[in-house]
């Protein structure tokens, strides 16, 4: 078995008896031990727990149990996901040592489908960041060039999959936190429609935007994971009714209208990114799609709107970290208020503080209408604009990130440059649309070859359409099979 096989292929080998789950997990743990010092994807590895789980799965298979869709597959979690009894510190000092007292619905569903949670991965603190550099505990390096970022905030999740340590990882995507790292690391990632996957047990950043989103080495794997973890959850009042839609299988794209929104191809878009995306669109056209330009003028306001709404919700969601019931506590001056403010001052990193302050400001009396109120109205207009566009086209396409992976440190001290990394991913988040990023080739940057991501957006609820086209694209391309040059691999070879 090769480390870069996708989950579907690995599962088939397990079911064919070529390997036991236990030996698969043992080899996964070995590879993490060898590769991760170079990549830095993992925050914690559940070695004993996952080996025990693997043995249990092997027994169940011998006893004739029906293997689930994720049977035996190692699965990396982001550090903002709850698995009872394991740490979920969200990359933040303020939650260091906090162990989840319950298991998230989507984690439980993955386990029920046979997955083996193998560990947690590094992330920007509370999922706020686009490079992984806002973590309190470790910054993952891009397997394609370890001097570069993996993107963020699901940085470790993307790095773990891209470096062949695990076939599957779960990330969370609020404004692009799965799609952008997937693009920058050369793997597949999908933010489903808002509400498709229960958020219960995903530590909230911005509740109206957060979605649990898988990362994998193929679109068919994304489909496999979403089918297992998606669907209505009575414990998440915002979850969409019904199960995750069944896969859509296509032999070509005849009859499909593909829209190219002008704002997705702005001036200043990296020419290599532009070229790879153009090539991908040509291929989709060759497969039968009719390509049309689409005007989405409200997209010009998407980034500003996103940063108002996301920070507003974050300022409220993060109020609970005040040293009272759980998490870290600093005594301060001995008063209750002093304890709370000292705990927060010391526990949160700079970017989290910046966003809490922004969010507090946009909700303040006297400023609410001008900021939060207006942003909510623009958000509604943007959703309307998308809905209107989807009356004429079936799918939208564009790049996922305006540039390939940037150097670590390059944007770390320029918050606005960092925020602009999300400019092509926040629109789908604001409108709750399903959006996938799949590899569409490599960009030559200096001496390095860096992955480029193609983003596909569908109407809200049409997750199966996005996945179906992504899968067809991968049936006709090999971009998703490209392997990064890793020192650890060379050492072994």
> For another protein, how many residues bind (rule: CB under 8 A)?
45
Confirm whether 78 is a catalytic residue. Answer: yes
Catalytic residue among 78, 136, 198, 315: 78
List the interface residues with another protein, window 420-449 (CB under 8 A).
none
For another protein, what does the binding mask look like between residues 198 and 237, x meaning CB under 8 A? -xxxxxx-xxx-------------------------xxxx
- 80 belongs to the binding site for another protein (CB under 8 A): yes
| Token pair for 234 | 């009575």
CB 458 within 8 A of CB 465: yes
Q: 7-15 vs 219-229: helix axis angle to the nearest 10?
A: 70
Q: How far is the CB of 368 from another protein (least distance, A)?
A: 8
Stretch that binds another protein, among 33-41, 60-68, 193-201, 468-476 (CB under 8 A): 193-201
Three-state secondary structure string covering 185-217: HCCEEEECCCCCECCCCECCCCCCCCEEEEEEC
- 483 belongs to the binding site for another protein (CB under 8 A): no
Beta bridge partners of 395: 258
| Token pair for 176 | 């692009």
- 345 belongs to the binding site for another protein (CB under 8 A): no
Confirm whether 153 is a catalytic residue. Answer: yes
- List of residues 6+ apart from 395 with CB closer than 8 A: 256, 257, 258, 259, 456, 457, 458, 465, 466, 469
CB 218 within 8 A of CB 73: no
Q: Which is nearer to another protein, 4 or 126 (CB)?
A: 126
Stretch that binds another protein, among 77-85, 285-293, 294-302, 417-425 (CB under 8 A): 77-85
Catalytic residue among 172, 177, 198, 315: 177
Q: Which is nearer to another protein, 82 or 222 (CB)?
A: 82
The answer, yes or no, to whether the previous bond of 41 is cis (omega within 30 of 0) is: no
Q: Which is nearer to another protein, 258 or 375 (CB)?
A: 375
C-alpha neighbours within 13 Å on the C-beta side of residue 298: 22
Stretch that binds another protein, among 62-70, 320-328, 413-421, 456-464 (CB under 8 A): 320-328
CA 315/CA 330 separation, integer angstroms: 20
Q: Which is nearer to another protein, 23 or 208 (CB)?
A: 208
| Pairing status of strand 42-45 against strand 74-78 | unpaired
Q: How far is the CB of 198 from another protein (least distance, A)?
A: 8
Q: How far is the CB of 119 from another protein (least distance, A)?
A: 18
Percentage helix, strand, coil for the chain under 3-state DSSP, each rounded to 5: 40, 15, 40
Which three-class secondary structure state does DSSP give residue 62?
helix
- 340 belongs to the binding site for another protein (CB under 8 A): yes
- 270 belongs to the binding site for another protein (CB under 8 A): no
Confirm whether 177 is a catalytic residue. Answer: yes
Interacting residues toward another protein by CB under 8 A:
80-82, 88, 90, 95, 98, 100-102, 104, 199-204, 206-208, 234-238, 312-313, 315-316, 318-320, 322, 324-326, 336-337, 340, 360, 363-365, 368, 372
Enzyme catalytic residues: 78, 153, 177
């Amino acid at each position: 078995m090769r480390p870069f096989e996708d989950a579907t292929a690995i599962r088939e080998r397990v079911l064919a008896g070529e390997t036991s789950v236990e030996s698969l997990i043992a080899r996964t743990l070995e590879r993490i031990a060898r590769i991760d010092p170079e990549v830095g994807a993992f925050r914690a590895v559940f070695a004993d727990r996952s080996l025990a789980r693997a043995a249990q799965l092997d027994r169940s298979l011998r006893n004739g149990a029906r293997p689930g869709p994720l049977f035996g597959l190692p699965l990396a979690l982001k550090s903002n996901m709850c698995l009872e009894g394991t740490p979920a510190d969200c990359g933040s000092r303020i939650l260091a040592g906090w162990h989840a007292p319950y298991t998230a619905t989507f984690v439980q569903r993955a386990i029920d489908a046979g997955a083996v949670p193998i560990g947690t991965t590094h992330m920007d603190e509370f999922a706020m960041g686009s490079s992984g550099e806002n973590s309190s505990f470790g910054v993952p390096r891009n397997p394609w060039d370890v001097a570069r970022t993996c993107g963020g905030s699901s940085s470790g999740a993307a790095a773990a999959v891209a470096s062949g340590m695990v076939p599957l990882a779960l990330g969370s995507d609020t404004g692009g936190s799965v799609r952008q790292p997937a693009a920058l690391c050369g793997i597949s990632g999908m933010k489903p429609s808002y509400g498709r996957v229960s958020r219960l047990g995903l530590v909230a950043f911005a509740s109206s935007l957060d979605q649990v989103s898988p990362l994998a080495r193929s679109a068919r794997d994304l489909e496999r994971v979403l089918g297992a973890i998606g669907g209505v959850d009575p414990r998440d009042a915002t979850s969409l009714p019904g199960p995750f839609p069944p896969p859509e299988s296509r032999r070509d794209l005849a009859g499909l209208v593909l829209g190219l929104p002008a704002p997705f191809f702005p001036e200043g878009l990296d020419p290599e990114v532009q070229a790879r995306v153009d090539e991908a669109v040509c291929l989709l056209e060759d497969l039968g799609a009719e390509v049309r330009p689409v005007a989405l003028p409200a997209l010009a306001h998407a980034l500003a709107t996103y940063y108002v709404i996301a920070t507003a919700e974050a300022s409220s969601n993060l109020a609970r970290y005040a040293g009272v019931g759980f998490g870290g506590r600093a005594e301060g001056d001995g008063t209750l208020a002093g304890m709370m403010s000292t705990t927060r001052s010391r526990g949160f990193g700079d970017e989290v503080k910046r966003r809490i302050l922004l969010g507090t400001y946009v909700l303040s009396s006297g400023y609410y209408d001008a900021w939060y109120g207006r942003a909510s109205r623009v958000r509604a207009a943007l959703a309307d604009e998308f809905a209107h566009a989807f009356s004429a086209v079936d799918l939208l396409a564009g790049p996922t990130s305006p540039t390939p992976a940037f150097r670590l440190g390059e944007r770390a001290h320029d918050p606005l440059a960092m925020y602009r990394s999300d400019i092509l991913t926040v629109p789908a988040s604001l409108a709750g649309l399903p959006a996938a990023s799949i590899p569409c080739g490599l960009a030559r940057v200096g001496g390095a070859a860096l992955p480029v991501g193609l983003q596909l957006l569908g109407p809200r609820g049409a997750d199966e359409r996005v996945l179906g086209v992504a899968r067809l694209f991968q049936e006709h391309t090999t971009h998703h099979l490209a392997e990064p040059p890793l020192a650890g691999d060379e050492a072994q070879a």
